[in-house]
Chains A and B, each alone.
Chain A
Amino acid sequence: MKLAFVGVGDAGTRIVDRLVRAERASGRSVSDGNVLVFNTDDAAFEAATAVPDERRVLLGDTHPAVRRRPDPAEAGGADGAETADGAGGADETEALASEIDPFGVGGDPDTGAAVAEAELPEIRRALDRIDETEVAGTMLVTGLGGGTGTGVGSVLLEELNSIYETPVYVLGALPAATEPDRRALTAARGIRTVVPLADAVFPVDNEAWRRGDPVAERYDAINDAIAARVLALFGAGERDPESVSELRVDPADVTRTLEVGGVASIGHATHELTPDDAGVVTRLLRLLGIADAPESDGAEADAATVKRLVRRALESTLTLPCSVDSADRVLVILSGPPDAVSRKGFETGRYLLEEETETVEVLAGDEPVPGATEVTATVVLSNVTDVPRIDEIQRRAVAALDASDAGDDGTTVLGDAADADTRPGAPDPADGPGDDAAGDSHASEDGQTGNPTDGAAGAEPDGASSESTTETDGSASEDGDRSVHGFDFTAGDDRGK
């Protein structure tokens, strides 16, 4: 299934870069060059060498709420080290990852959204570079903990939805436990925003994937693993279109599996075919013209191997760990040499999934890779609803919200949204798309314009610590009360400094 990759923010840029590299390395052509990356800070662009220059789009460089990275040559003073780090290697160091990157939108998704709204003409121009007729869908790739990733990403997602008839999926990295609570808050809001908008969301649980190491040290490893899974899913069928497999996975199998929406998770396992493997023996025997010989244990073991492989994929570290029995629909893809994979194994593997996931909507297909020396099982669990990590991020988010609200009492508080417009660095309300009264809600369900100017102001790292409404207002959010910007992101951050 052909997909356009649209990366947003640092994480999105990095992952798209890895996806494009993995496409080339694996011979699976998914994007066919239909790639774009958007960012509000151009540091991450430099390392994304697989993405051509003209497909990198810097947004908000003239937006007052966006903080430009100083030219490294002029860098000095307190900012020096940080800047050098950021500009030198696109990956944040753990030191930086544990804080919020001050550049770009400074980690504030509302600023991100405001910037994106203001830059819509530029975004639309950039999206013209994607040939929609060549792709069967779009994958928005983003870090859900980031201000740009989630803020710009959300607006971009709305835009993609309105211009494309084909499905729009989201691949979104979730912040690890070691990352600031504010990023958890952004991610929790991000999940809430993108899930209803996207056709399906693939959250990536960095916490599960960092395996105890600082997440920034494992970016490449994690992103490579994620890219491999995404390509195993969408790239199946994009290799060797002449293959004869009857069980081949069609793009419609993928879209139908994902069409239920919600969040999806991918499992993956590989089995190396050794020379004394039954499949090879079968092949040999067939070559020698005694094709029917291996009705024996050999082929049977092969079926067991395939079934075991499917089980291992299900029990592997999923891109998003979850209760597999909460899955709504399932797709399994077996990739490998078609003459060495047991069909019975294929069928029993599929049935195993039906039993384990407790759904009857299990599609199965294969990706024939003649001559391959390994068999890979990729299992997609669509619309999983029992996801402990998301619950945990929500708890952290609520706690961060409460903490910032509680902080209102003890710290210097500039009050609520009304202050925003008076803050230095705040954009002129008239410029922003969210220029309705500052007190307006951006929590209302249709709050498209929201109140981004507040966020924008708050995101100005140098601005006064902006605090906003109290917890009690929070409960009023459904009434469209202004309370929503109660989690003015800079609040906690500034306090932390």
Chain B
Amino acid sequence: MKLATIGVGNAGSKLIDRMIEFEVETGRNLCRHALVINTARTDLAKPKNIPEDRRVLIGDTHHKARGHGVGGDAEIGAEVAKTDIDEIRRVFDDVEIHEVDAVLVAAGLGGGTGSGAAPVVIEEIQKMYDEPVYGLGVLPGKYEGGRPALNAARSLQSFVTKVDNFIAFDNDAWRSRGQTIEQGYEEMNKELATRIVTLLAAGEVDESEVGENAMDSSDIMRTLEVGGVSSIGYASTELAPAKQGLLSKFNESDEPESESTDAAKIKGLVRRAVNSRLTVPCDISSADRALIVFAGPPEVISRKGVESAREWLENAADTVDVLAGDDPRPDSSTLAAVVLLSNVTETPRIDEIQSQAVDAQNKIREQDAVREEEIQSLITDDDDDLDPIV
């Protein structure tokens, strides 16, 4: 697939940056256009792989933002995106839309810029183009608190109703203990970039190498077209040390036992992908459609294995709409299986965020209701004998 990508806010920009890094490292070519949008000037300097003229500062004339961010306020994030929509459109005008299959908008849903501005950007792109728009959203962890949960719950609604599919990533499922602030979300971003790029870059191989089993962009888009929220699973195996073993077996491919061992391995890889940490934990059987991409040297991808893996997933996901295909990468030293579970409807983490958001909203309303009164009561004495100087 060929994508135009837009990162909104800090997390979104970082993700797009990471995706480009990963595709360059692995010789893929997914992101044909990349654009990042932010409200904080300092954050806009961070993405290393986005040219300077593809970084858009919004809200620098807004009296609350001024190029210093929106302080986690999604309302202001949306407001400044609306105000500066011409600026965004101008930069996006350069995109040769007929050269891409779809637009991907990435954002962190806990912060103010991503959660507020991204839906506005999506709306605008949908006005301009007919191509599908996919969302890639990072859900805040429980410990990020009530305000991020509220931003996320509200933004999720906007995202899911607008985009053609929303791929969710749950920070909580991916938190690891030993990280420092500097490492930040680096590791998670890397994991997510690996999954997204491996999945969506399939179908972009040299025509000559395309086998009959190659995954096609239209297969991926067909799986995504049902809308809703999607989750991605991933597993890979190093071939470098094991390759010899595998290849040597292929070399003696007449031996039927070896073929079945390889098939078992392929199926095992897919099971591992689905049972690994999904980008958002979900009940697999609630998936509407599913798709498996095998990325690796074509000679190690056993047909039999692919078919049995597909059948296994059909059962596990309880849907007949399961596609499986290859992304042949002859020089790769790894074999990866990436599983897209499209339109999963049982995602406990989203329910949790929603209930945390409802509590947060109630608390915020309570505070708003008494704020002025409490300040007044603090600054005046009981009988109101003291008066101001000016």
Chain A residues with CB under 8 Å of chain B are: 1, 109-110, 112-113, 136, 150-151, 154-155, 158, 165, 185, 188-193, 195-197, 237, 241-242, 244-248, 250-257, 259-263, 279, 282, 292, 294-296, 298-300, 303, 326, 328, 334, 338-344, 346-348, 350-351, 354, 358-363, 366, 368, 383, 385-387, 390, 394-395, 397-398, 401, 442-443, 445, 447-448, 450, 474-475, 477-478, 484, 487
Docked-complex contact A360 and B175, CB < 8 angstroms: no
Docked-complex contact B371 and A342, CB < 8 angstroms: no
Docked-complex contact A248 and B375, CB < 8 angstroms: no
Docked-complex contact B143 and A351, CB < 8 angstroms: yes
CB distance from A253 to the nearest CB of B (A): 5
Docked-complex contact A150 and B145, CB < 8 angstroms: no
Which of A113, A242, A368, A445 sits near B389, CB closer than 8 Å? A113
Of the four ranges (under 10, 10 to 19, 20 to 34, 35 or more), the interface on chain B belongs to 35 or more
Chain B residues with CB under 8 Å of chain A are: 10-11, 14, 39-40, 42-43, 45-46, 63-66, 68-73, 141-147, 149-150, 175-185, 359-360, 363-364, 367, 371, 374-375, 377-390
Which of B45, B71, B179 sits near A255, CB closer than 8 Å? B71
Docked-complex contact B182 and A368, CB < 8 angstroms: yes
Given contacts A346-B181, A351-B142, 4 further A-B contacts (CB under 8 A): A136-B66, A192-B386, A195-B375, A358-B363
Docked-complex contact A341 and B180, CB < 8 angstroms: yes
A390 to B269: give the CA distance in the assembly, Å. Answer: 66
Q: For residue B39, which residues in chain A have a CB less than 8 angstroms away from its CB?
A: 252
Docked-complex contact B184 and A247, CB < 8 angstroms: yes
Mind listing 16 A-B residue pairs with CB under 8 Å? A109-B389, A188-B386, A195-B378, A328-B371, A338-B180, A339-B181, A341-B181, A342-B177, A342-B180, A347-B175, A354-B145, A360-B360, A385-B378, A401-B385, A447-B388, A478-B384
Docked-complex contact A354 and B73, CB < 8 angstroms: no
Q: For residue B40, which residues in chain A have a CB less than 8 angstroms away from its CB?
A: 250, 252
Docked-complex contact B175 and A398, CB < 8 angstroms: no
Docked-complex contact A196 and B46, CB < 8 angstroms: no
Q: For residue A151, which residues in chain B have a CB less than 8 angstroms away from its CB?
A: 389
Docked-complex contact A390 and B180, CB < 8 angstroms: no
Chain B residue at minimum C-beta to C-beta distance from A352: B143
Known: A237-B42, A354-B146. Is A247-B385 also a contact (CB below 8 A)?
no
CB distance from B295 to the nearest CB of A (A): 24
- How many A-B residue contacts, CB cutoff 8 Å? 228
Which residue, B69, B144, B378, has most C-beta atoms of chain A within 10 A? B378
Known: A154-B389, A192-B387. Is A362-B42 also a contact (CB below 8 A)?
no
A475 to B92: give the CA distance in the assembly, Å. Answer: 65
CB distance from B379 to the nearest CB of A (A): 5
CB distance from B167 to the nearest CB of A (A): 20
Docked-complex contact B386 and A189, CB < 8 angstroms: yes
Q: Is the interface of B mostly helix, strand, loop or mixed?
A: loop
A257 to B143: give the CA distance in the assembly, Å. Answer: 19
Docked-complex contact A359 and B388, CB < 8 angstroms: no
Which of B42, B73, B150 sits near A241, CB closer than 8 Å? B42
Docked-complex contact B42 and A295, CB < 8 angstroms: no
Docked-complex contact A361 and B178, CB < 8 angstroms: no
A165 to B61: give the CA distance in the assembly, Å. Answer: 12
3 interchain residue pairs of minimum CB distance: A360-B146, A256-B71, A250-B69
Chain B residue at minimum C-beta to C-beta distance from A110: B389
Q: For residue B364, which residues in chain A have a CB less than 8 angstroms away from its CB?
A: 360-361
A447 to B389: give the CA distance in the assembly, Å. Answer: 8
A155 to B388: give the CA distance in the assembly, Å. Answer: 11
Chain A residue at minimum C-beta to C-beta distance from B376: A196
Q: For residue A155, which residues in chain B have a CB less than 8 angstroms away from its CB?
A: 390
Docked-complex contact B386 and A295, CB < 8 angstroms: no
Docked-complex contact B379 and A360, CB < 8 angstroms: no
Docked-complex contact A350 and B145, CB < 8 angstroms: yes
Which residue, B65, B180, B359, has most C-beta atoms of chain A within 10 A? B180
A133 to B194: give the CA distance in the assembly, Å. Answer: 43
Known: A237-B42, A299-B178. Is A253-B72 also a contact (CB below 8 A)?
yes
Known: A338-B180, A342-B180, A387-B378. Is A398-B385 also a contact (CB below 8 A)?
yes
A168 to B255: give the CA distance in the assembly, Å. Answer: 81
Which of A255, A263, A484 sits near B378, CB closer than 8 Å? A263
Known: A189-B387, A251-B68, A343-B179. Is A328-B14 also a contact (CB below 8 A)?
no
Q: For residue A193, which residues in chain B have a CB less than 8 angstroms away from its CB?
A: 388-390
A263 to B65: give the CA distance in the assembly, Å. Answer: 23
Known: A192-B386, A262-B378. Is A350-B71 also a contact (CB below 8 A)?
no
A463 to B273: give the CA distance in the assembly, Å. Answer: 89
A487 to B64: give the CA distance in the assembly, Å. Answer: 40
Q: For residue B46, which residues in chain A have a CB less than 8 angstroms away from its CB?
A: 244, 246
Docked-complex contact B363 and A359, CB < 8 angstroms: yes
Known: A347-B141, A354-B145. Is A252-B178 also a contact (CB below 8 A)?
no
Q: For residue A487, which residues in chain B have a CB less than 8 angstroms away from its CB?
A: 386
Which of A339, A360, A390, A477 sits near B182, CB closer than 8 Å? A339
Q: For residue A442, which residues in chain B have a CB less than 8 angstroms away from its CB?
A: 387, 389
Q: For residue B150, which residues in chain A have a CB less than 8 angstroms away from its CB?
A: 360
Which of B63, B65, B146, B385 sits near A165, CB closer than 8 Å? B63
Q: For residue A109, which residues in chain B have a CB less than 8 angstroms away from its CB?
A: 389
Which residue, B147, B364, B386, B389, has most C-beta atoms of chain A within 10 A? B389
Chain A residue at minimum C-beta to C-beta distance from B10: A246
Q: For residue B65, which residues in chain A have a CB less than 8 angstroms away from its CB?
A: 252
Chain A residue at minimum C-beta to C-beta distance from B380: A192
Known: A252-B40, A252-B70. Is A282-B178 also a contact (CB below 8 A)?
yes
Q: For residue A189, which residues in chain B have a CB less than 8 angstroms away from its CB?
A: 386-389
Chain B residue at minimum C-beta to C-beta distance from A397: B386
Chain A residue at minimum C-beta to C-beta distance from B388: A193
Which of B363, B367, B375 sits near A261, CB closer than 8 Å? B375
Docked-complex contact B389 and A450, CB < 8 angstroms: yes
Q: For residue A154, which residues in chain B have a CB less than 8 angstroms away from its CB?
A: 388-390
Which of B68, B178, B388 sits near A1, CB closer than 8 Å? B68
A195 to B384: give the CA distance in the assembly, Å. Answer: 15
Which residue, A136, A196, A246, A253, has most C-beta atoms of chain B within 10 A? A246
CB distance from A393 to the nearest CB of B (A): 9
Q: For residue A347, which residues in chain B have a CB less than 8 angstroms away from its CB?
A: 141, 143-144, 175
Q: For residue B388, which residues in chain A have a CB less than 8 angstroms away from its CB?
A: 154, 189, 192-193, 196, 443, 445, 447
A109 to B386: give the CA distance in the assembly, Å. Answer: 13
Q: For residue B383, which residues in chain A have a CB less than 8 angstroms away from its CB?
A: 398, 475
Docked-complex contact A477 and B387, CB < 8 angstroms: yes
